[in-house]
Amino acid sequence: MKRKRIERCIYYILNRLKIHLRIWIKLKNVVKYILGFFVIKRKFNVRTYRKRRTFPSMTLVLDLDETLIYCTKKKIYDYQKEVDVLINGKYISLYVCKRPYIDLFFSVLYPYYEIIIFTTSIKSYADTVLNIMDVDHYIDKKFYREDCYEMDGKVYIKNLVNIKKEISKMILIDDSNASGFKYPDNFFQIKKWQGEMNDTELLDIIPFFLNLRKVGDIRSICSFKAKSQKDIANLLTTAPAKHINYLNDNLSQSLYPQSLAFQAINYLKIFMNKFRYARKKKQWNELGKKINNKMKSYPYSLSKLKGSSDDDEYKKKREKMLRRKLHY
């Protein structure tokens, strides 16, 4: 009898221990998950998106279809998500996938640009797709087909006036040439995307837009970018005094006059096709050093093109800057 009682007691104690152990393991996993999340967040600085210190003055207007996403009626790729969209009172199932590096593109440029989606699609379709793609928290405003105007009854042209922002600080990214018909100086054409996962276009253009945020007037840059390398070379060598335009770049504090020729040398680091797809900072730094050395090699007298009436002002500015350096 005593033996049976002892066995029962041991069996009861073991069962209770099992229950407590299960509860402890569950609690341990929960605590481990919570603490682990905070440790990883501190160690690797993981964030869902970067916050803005101040609201950006630059505006980035992006197309949706075949620029950021790819949508089909039939499933072509395994990684496409099924979406039910309400169109003309009926639910239609579509298959959508988002472009590679879209999250990185938004997270890097979000602090410096106001991000706007401008699509020729209807509102119900665009909102549903953006919610499923999990990029809606990066987007400040959305514009749809209703905000476009029709041309020849078939083509929808995006009207940037509806955004009610300063056009000199607005850039439109689209895969279609028709979008840049009305605003060619604000247009940046991107490669058309049709679901390929080896695409790196959004990753490649990040350095370009990080440099572009420093410019005062985007239109002068986009029009300059559209020119060929021969035109740029001719502009640098033979720039008549009549066509000298001063570009409004807030960060250019060089001692040289801000003539178009010398500004062109500065902007080559952004627009040279060879370095447009530079992924590493080293490549950009190397190019920057080359351009700076080239600028230093030019005599100061060459910067004064014939017909320039502002030579005395630049002399005074230069003298002031040299005095400050000597004073400090």
Nearest to 149 by CA among 139, 138, 157, 141: 157
Backbone angles phi, psi at 295, to 5 degrees: -65, -40
Among 230, 251, 257, CA closest to 314:
257
Neighbours of 201 (CB within 10 A): 17
User: What is the token pair recorded at 303?
Assistant: 């910067």
Residue 54 CB coordination number (10 Å): 6
SS3 80: coil
Contacts of 70 (CB under 8 A, 6+ apart): 80, 96, 97, 99, 193, 194, 195
The residue among 174, 193, 176, 172 whose CA lies nearest residue 70 is 193
Annotated catalytic, 311?
no
Active-site residue, selected from the candidate residues 63, 174, 185, 249: 63
- Pick from 75, 72, 57, 182: nearest CA to 118: 182
Write the DSSP symbol of residue 73.
Answer: S
Active site residue 63: yes
In sequence order, what are the residues at sequence separation of 6 or more whose Cβ sits closer than 8 angstroms to the Cβ of residue 323?
A: none
Active site residues: 63, 65
